[in-house]
Amino acid sequence: MNRPPEVPQTPQRPRQAAWHEPIIMQMSTPGARGVLPPPVEPGILAATGDSLAGLPLSVRRVTPPALPELSQYEVLRHYVRLSQETLGNDVGVQIGKGTTTLKYSPKVQEHAARLPAVADLHPLQVEETVQGILRVMYEFEGMIKDISGMDRFSFQPGGGSQAIYTNALIMRAYHEERGQFGPGGKDQVLTTIFSHPANAACPKTAGFDVVTLWPGPDGYPDLADARRLISERTAGLFITNPEDSGIFNPVIDQLVGAVHAAGGICVYDQANANGLLGITRAREAGFDLCHFNLHKTFSSPHGSGGPGSGASGATDQLAKYLPVPTVEFDGTRHWLNYERPASIGMVRGFHGAVQGVLRAWMWILSLGPAGLRSVAETAILNNNYLLKQMLAIRGVDIPYPHMRRIEQVRYTLQALFEATGVSTHDVRARAADYATHYWTSHHPFVVPEPATFEPTESSSKADLDWYAGVIREIAADAYANPAFVRTAPHNAPVHKIDPAPLDDPARWATTWRGFVRKGGR
Amino acid sequence: MAAWPPVHPYIPNSAPGVRGEMMRELGIASVDELLQDIPAHLRLGRALHLPEPLTEMELARHTREVLAVNRVPGDGLLSFLGGGCAQHFIPAVCDEIAGRGEFLTAYTGDTYEDHGRWQALFEFASQLGELLEMDMVSTPTYDWGQAAATAMRMAGRATGRREVLVPAAISPERLAIIRSYLHPAMEVRTVAADKSAQLEPDALADHLGPATAAVYLETPSYTGLVQVHGAAIAAAAHAAGALFIVGVDPLSLGVLAPPAAYGADIAVGDLQPLGIHMNYGGGLAGFIALHDDPRLVMELPTRLAGITTTAVPGEYGFGEVAFGRTSFIEREKGKEYVGTGTNLWGIVAGVYLALLGPQGMRELGEGIMRRTRYAMDRIAAIPGLSVADAAETHFKEFVVSFAGTRRTVAEVNRELLARGIHGGHDLARDWPAVGPSSLYCVTEVHRQADIDRLVDALAEVTRS
């Protein structure tokens, strides 16, 4: 059978919706109602009299809250319009949003996650009433154990950063048990500048000092440099691999070995695992702890910034420190184990964002072992295909050009910037005119004028070609008419913002009441 | 041999023709050629031990079958569980917006890409700010426990002190989160409430001092008790140079005074009651609100969605307020750490508040207080059962003691469950000292007939 013809290139570009909705606080009609609470039955009214009588005036609300008053349809339409002004992955190509693994979140998972049998479960129900969800959690733990080589997992962390924090607490508990945590003992952790900022911030929050390794000539830390920084103070290592550069550190096991030799614990941030599924694991590299983002690699949606789901994994040696409760199975029934005295306790209430675990479990059941391997291989193929097209664009380069890339690439637009004055931030704003994303980099900008793209396995060839075409066109415009690109966006829901008030205490506002108080209208 | 890779619906470029085209473009015969930087000794070298794949129909059916054994509150099971998460009425519009694919699958685009997401987050903060009468509201955090713990560390940095006073009778899970989050930077000192869960200012006197960074109060308390001494506690804390942090159920604030009205510097709590399904605990979402005092605002670790103007007059745009505070910019030198929070639940909470409005929040709050009072009075009248702090005002929750019966809570709950009722949360594991007791929770979802059914069943199963 012949393939359908290619969709012809049209001069019309996709563009974002622009509804110019007022702020909801401006939409109020006094007396309007959006939903009516259930009335209290006469029997309860009669029996309870004035239920507020016992309360002192000081704790009663005197002035009603100045919430907006709207009919139900007005609320619905307003928020549907706001949703339409949001380039979620269901709508917009998110190839440009590197490090975040924005892949297709299958709808069959979403439908299941909204079933009352998941959505309406109370986290303190007795075990016999929640055997279904406990089975999902237990089975998924089995799957992710094989994917990582770790021995136990907790799904309590509410996101990737909280999982890194959880692993920092486990590292702390390990050293505390040996009387070595703190000044004069194990008080220092190592991380790399290309690892997510949480790998520095979380151990610091947990009470460690942080030493940052910088890349050597191949884009990852030189082993000799690293060894010089490892000492008896070294409590452990927090590292991503591949790092956000997209470069895989091939001597990772030697770095892990050096930290182990100093008595440290090694933590693998697997936020960038999408290109490694079924190919290489935390276990083979010698790690003691790791975490996955179920909302990235395992297809659970990102929710406009959460709830995410972080899965923290540990080897047998450290499993006793994982949060309570763990999910156990006695061959007949699943149960929750709270009797784990060495545990770090809890980092988030109850059992974490379990809906994310359900989705990840379904995702693996849909893919199977070959499908999961294909996810990794296709993510790598897509990334390298895009890389080749990107490098053909004038003004776009990569650092460490002699190294291969796994599932993402940190590019540099330094040449474009030097020639045109158009910065990577300007290109980002201009990409919004094409209804697509473009991301720069976490700070600091080690790579000048950075851009980080991660296509994932969800991108079609047509998506990749289209996205490369967008960047090519923006770059060409930058050379031809830099002022036009620098003043973008021109065709997005809003125009160039004035960022100054956001950093000015006299003008900043995160609420309408604050905005109005400062003269906004 | 089967074709590699298998063609999968989630992987567009698993279709053989297009894959071949891309590989030809790269000049490779196999993706393995792109993996040469991964040394052989780090390779797994075998297929993963995972179940063979299911088609979508098989998967949907299998999932339903696995989940079918769950017993679901509101769906055949009458439940009185609370303790930090509770069954509430969810307006259909909340579900509709929560399910919008645009919000659901967005992440962290800026105002040019995700303008609607930013506006929805700003509107969430604006409405919560009205409910709390505070000008500065953060994007949502992980949960109440994390929000409280962060508020305490903010207080520690702002005051240069290292102790916080926390009522002993708070959620044990929340206390565990706070303790681990404060260690080793700060210390938690628990303050026992005299006789009842009503925290008296006098109880603080022995503990408040020059080391106190903050006093933390929850109202309603873990046991549902509306705290009436907030103003005096605030005054005592402030007199000692400490901040006053209040944890609060936002659903109570149509009826109860916002913490700012009696002196709170920071208010925290959970958004789950505001239109968010429990999700077996996955519905938790914390909030942090404060006054617009730059000294304290700059101690926040979280993202702040701020409003600004654009190049076009009359147009609003949004952006990160004081982003330089955060670990995104400053790594280990930033304030604590930040990452993916619970924004979708914040958006839903905004929808919920817009639907309820001031009248709805008042009616709902009053209704819950009346239902709670009704349930407390009726249960207290059952021979052998008693309700803690029964004379005082409760919101949603209260503790029932079974000490006057010869039954354990586990036995009672087992027999209730046989009658289609999930009884209150058994406090035996966390609070053994209180004797056989359980925490009951009543909300707007409970009709009089539901409460009466519980009362009849409790009377029956505890009859000696």
Which helix (H) or strand (E) is B460 found in, with range?
helix B448-462
Domain count, chain B: 3
Q: Could you tell me if A421 and A471 lie in one domain?
A: yes
Same domain, A328 and A409: no
Tell the residue number behind the tokens 């029996």, with chain if given. A47
Give the integer Cα–Cα distance in Å for B308 and A501. Answer: 6
Count of domains forming chain A: 2
Residues A358 and A391 in one domain: no
pLDDT of residue A11: 53
Shortest CA distance to A508 belongs to which of B318, B166, B4, B371? Answer: B318
Geometric angle at alpha carbon A471, from A470 and A472, rounded to 5°: 90
Say yes or no: B378 and B337 in one domain. no
Together in a domain, A227 and A211: yes
Q: Cβ atoms within 10 A of the Cβ of B384, count? A: 16
For residue A398, tell me if it sits in a domain: yes
Examine the domain organization and report whether B348 and B365 are in the same domain. Answer: no
Whether B71 is covered by a domain: the verdict is no
Residue A516 lies in a domain: no
Same domain, A361 and A390: no
Q: What CATH number corresponds to the domain at position A151?
A: 3.40.640.10
Residue type, B164: V
Q: What is the pLDDT along chain A (521 residues), one digit of tens a residue?
A: 445 444 444 457 889 999 999 999 999 999 999 999 999 999 999 999 876 777 888 899 999 999 999 999 999 999 999 999 999 999 989 999 999 999 999 999 999 999 999 999 999 999 999 999 999 999 999 999 999 999 999 999 999 999 999 999 999 999 999 999 999 999 999 999 999 999 999 999 999 999 999 999 999 999 999 999 999 999 999 999 999 999 999 999 999 999 999 999 999 999 999 999 999 999 999 999 999 999 999 999 999 999 999 999 999 999 999 999 999 999 999 999 999 999 999 999 999 999 999 999 999 999 999 999 999 999 999 999 999 999 999 999 999 999 999 999 999 999 999 999 999 999 999 999 999 999 999 999 999 999 999 999 999 999 999 999 999 999 999 999 999 999 999 999 999 999 999 999 999 999 999 999 999 98
Q: Could you please report the per-residue DSSP string of B155-197?
A: HHHHHT--EEEEETTS-HHHHHHHHHHHTTT-EEEEEPPSSSS
pLDDT for the residue numbered A52:
73
Please, what is the Cα angle at A37 between A34 and A42, to 5 degrees? 145
B7 in any annotated domain: no
Domain housing A449: 369-496
Q: Do B11 and A385 touch (CB under 8 A)?
A: no
B115: tokens are: 């303008």
What distance, in Å, lies between the first and last C-alpha atoms of chain A?
61
Is pLDDT above 60 for B238? Answer: yes
Region B276-291 average pLDDT: 98
* Per-residue model confidence as pLDDT tens digits over B78-121: 999 999 999 999 999 999 999 999 999 999 999 999 999 999 99
Give CA–CA dist A230/A239, Å, rounded.
Answer: 14
Q: Which of A457-461, B32-36, B277-281 has the weakest average pLDDT?
A: B32-36
Cβ proximity of A363 and B3 under 8 Å:
no
Q: Does residue B85 sit in the same domain as residue B99? A: no
Q: For position A1, what pLDDT does the model report? A: 43
CATH of the domain at B445: 3.90.1150.10
pLDDT at res. A521: 85
Residue B195 is predicted with a pLDDT of 62
Per-residue pLDDT, averaged over B291-302, amounts to: 98
Q: What is the DSSP letter of A147?
A: H
CB contact B37 to A (< 8 Å): yes
CB pairs under 8 A between A and B: 747
Question: Hey, is the C-beta of B404 within 8 angstroms of any chain A C-beta?
Answer: no
CB contact under 8 A, B280 and A487: no
CB B300 within 8 A of CB B338: no
For residue A460, is it within any domain?
Answer: yes
> Cα distance from A353 to chain B (closest Cα, Å)?
4
| Amino acid identity, position A342 | A
Q: Which of B352, B377, B394 lies at the terminal end of a domain, its last residue?
A: B352
A200 to chain B, any CB pair closer than 8 A? The answer is yes
Query: Do A324 and A410 belong together in one domain?
Result: no
Flag whether A502 is in a domain. no
Percent of chain B with pLDDT over 70: 99
List, for residues B134-192, the tens digit of each pLDDT value.
999 999 999 999 999 999 999 999 999 999 999 988 999 999 999 999 999 999 999 98
Residues 5-24 of A with CB under 8 A from B: 16, 20-21, 23-24
Q: What is the pLDDT of residue A49?
A: 86
* Pair A318, A446 in one domain: no
Q: In this predicted structure, what is the pLDDT of residue B2?
A: 61
Q: What is the CA A359 to chain-centroid distance, rounded?
A: 16
Q: How high is the pLDDT of residue A50?
A: 77
Preceding omega of B172 cis (within 30 degrees of 0): no
- Over range B346-365, report the average pLDDT: 98
Are B374 and B325 in the same domain? no
C-alpha A372/C-alpha A279 separation (Å) is 10
Q: How far is CA B388 from the centre of its chain?
A: 25
Whether residues B313 and B232 share a domain: the answer is yes
pLDDT at position A260 is 98
In sequence order, what are the beta bridge partners of B136? B290
pLDDT class of B1 with cuts at 50, 70, 90: very low
Question: Within an 8 Å CB–CB cutoff, is residue A256 touching chain B?
Answer: no
Q: Which two tokens stand for residue A183?
A: 């000044």
- B61 and B117 both lie in a single domain: no
pTM beyond 0.95, yes or no: yes
Residue A383 · residue A244 · CB < 8 Å: no
Residue with tokens 């952790």: A189
Q: Give the domain-ending residue among A365, A389, A418.
A: A365
Same-domain check for residues A322 and A429: no
In the structure encoding, which two tokens stand for residue A354, read together?
């379990």
Residue A479, in any domain of the structure: yes
CB atoms near residue A135 (< 10 Å): 19
Smallest Cβ distance to B10: which of A212, A356, A458? A458
Question: Are B281 and A129 a contacting pair at CB < 8 A?
Answer: no
Q: Answer yes or no: do A309 and A386 share one domain.
A: no
User: For residue B402, what are the CA distances in angstroms to A4, A517, B415?
Assistant: 73, 53, 14
B420 interfacial to chain A (CB closer than 8 Å): no
pLDDT for residue A51: 67
Domain holding A429: CATH number? 3.90.1150.10
A140-176 exposure pattern, b = at least 16 Cβ within 10 A, e = fewer: bbebbbbbbbbebbbbbbbbbbbbbbbbbbbbbbbbb
Cα end-to-end span (Å), chain B: 71
Residues B128 and B58 in one domain: no
The domain that holds B321 is classified in CATH as 3.40.640.10
Residue B16 contacts A where some CB pair is shorter than 8 Å: no
Secondary structure (3-state) at B309: strand
Name the residue in chain A with its Cα closest to that of B259.
Answer: A59
Question: What pLDDT is recorded for position B44?
Answer: 96
Residues within 8 A of B (CB atoms), A 122-181 only: 122-126, 128-133, 135-136, 143, 146-147, 158-162, 164-165, 169, 181
B48: domain range?
12-66
